[in-house]
Amino acid sequence: MERSLLLLTSLCHLETIIDINLINPQVLYWLSGLTCTDENFIIKSGAQRAASSEGIALIAPDTSPRGLNVEGEADSYDFGVGAGFYLNATQEKWKNWRMYDYVVKELPELLKENFPQLDTTCASISGHSMGGHGALTIYLKNLDKYKTASAFAPIVNPINCPWGQKAFSNYLGGNKADWEEYDATCLISKFHDLSASILIDQGTDDKFLHDQLLPNKFQEACEKVNAPLLLRLQPGYDHSYFFIATFIDDHISHHAQALKL
């Protein structure tokens, strides 16, 4: 039996896939959606082959803290455990929900310590649904750290959808200005010189399209500031991982091109 080209390591609810034959592979962070763990993308997406051929290591963190036993943390699928929304909570009860800092600050340091072969200075970021929201907002707030961003069916305007309003009101309180700091549609208006186009794939049969995801709002905001966006509406596709598996190679290629510049 041939030796596997992939090294799979689980560390602190983190899944990392690295081609062991690569030298200094570059990093692509993947942020998953509501109810997901660090395993969903690695098991279901089929991204490993394309990532290996492009010299990219896939980094997939968990979607929230776990095991803290905060009252109410598991009462619903769209808030609490599995629903960190990649922000830093400001409300005392949820003070440990700081997934923004985990992804942007702690995770790169963790990778440096445990995977020194990775080139953590050259990274990109992608995600699905809530994770697409996280990828876009983290990218827009840290253009010096990420070469580009992409997303599948992202929540691009959370201040105007039920998922976002529920999460933000509980994690951040009632100040709507604080909400806007984690809303890609609000953030894009501040940027006029993105170095790479943002790629978004959205299925037209996604049941969350019109009330939760609102890609047209983000597209309109990008057009106002001439921000480069490739929004692809994919006929017949829904919100599932079959959708992601179909187009993930395009996203890997998108990031590979940006990382090599």
Catalytic residue among 45, 126, 129, 150: 129
Q: Answer yes or no: 128 catalytic.
A: no
Closest alpha carbon to 29 in 62, 58, 65, 56: 58
Q: Answer yes or no: 206 catalytic.
A: yes
Q: Answer yes or no: 126 catalytic.
A: no
Catalytic residue among 38, 62, 201, 206: 206
Catalytic residue among 239, 251, 254, 255: 239
Catalytic residue set: 129, 206, 239
